[in-house]
Amino acid sequence: MKRQIPLMIVMILGFLFVIHTFVPHKISADFYDWWQEWAKAISPFAVVLGVISLGMVHGTKISRKAPNWQYSLVTVLALVFTAASGFIWGRQEGTPYMWLFKNVQMPMSATMFSLLAFYIASAAYKAFRARSAEATVLLIAAIIVMLGQVPLGMQISRWIPDISTWILNVPNMAAKRAIMIGVGLGMVATSLKILLGIERTYLGGGD
């Protein structure tokens, strides 16, 4: 039953949504409105589940003094303090919540993302070697696109931004389209398998 009931819910609702997409009848529209209300009511529970799950995982680590349990303590304290600051003082400019966002989250996130520039520079130096004809084409394309992205490219030659745009518009687009069509067909096939109950891995293991 633990598998049959979710399977039935997915199949019935899945086909109802397919019907809704293609049948513009009042019953279909009413069903859609009904679903919207349900979706609004269900979504807050995802947050509750998330907080419970986070608390259980890190709470266990702290109580058992598992390796690196101190990080778990920081995570739990950050969760409690950030949430409390938002609940107590609100989220407006000048509140502790906004201070935390501007002075803790923003610089930390920006720092992590900015490391990309250093990794790209190091990887480009180590990996971009003209070892074969294909690698040479890739290398030249990369240099042109990089120059096309900055004003210097235009100042060197007005052709550089044009060639850069052509690379993005023609060879890049052909490859992207091929991937997207492949992914799209794969999604349709997987969706059908789920609707028909053939694909059941999303239900997880156990009976």
Residues in touch with other proteins (CB under 8 A): 32, 35-36, 39-40, 42-44, 46-47, 91-93, 97-98, 101-102, 105-106, 108-110, 112-114, 117-118, 120-122, 124-126, 128-131, 139, 142-143, 146-147, 149-152, 154-155, 161, 165, 168-169, 172-173, 176-177, 180
Q: Select 62 or 76, whichever has its Cβ closest to other proteins.
A: 76
Q: Select 98 or 195, whichever has its Cβ closest to other proteins.
A: 98
Q: Select 20 or 76, whichever has its Cβ closest to other proteins.
A: 20
Q: Select 4 or 21, whichever has its Cβ closest to other proteins.
A: 21
Cβ 194 to other proteins shortest distance, Å: 17
Cβ 207 to other proteins shortest distance, Å: 28
Going from the C-alpha of 162 to that of each of 144, 171, 172, 175, the distances in angstroms are: 10, 14, 14, 19
Closest Cα partner for 18 from 203, 204, 202, 192? 192
Cβ 66 to other proteins shortest distance, Å: 28
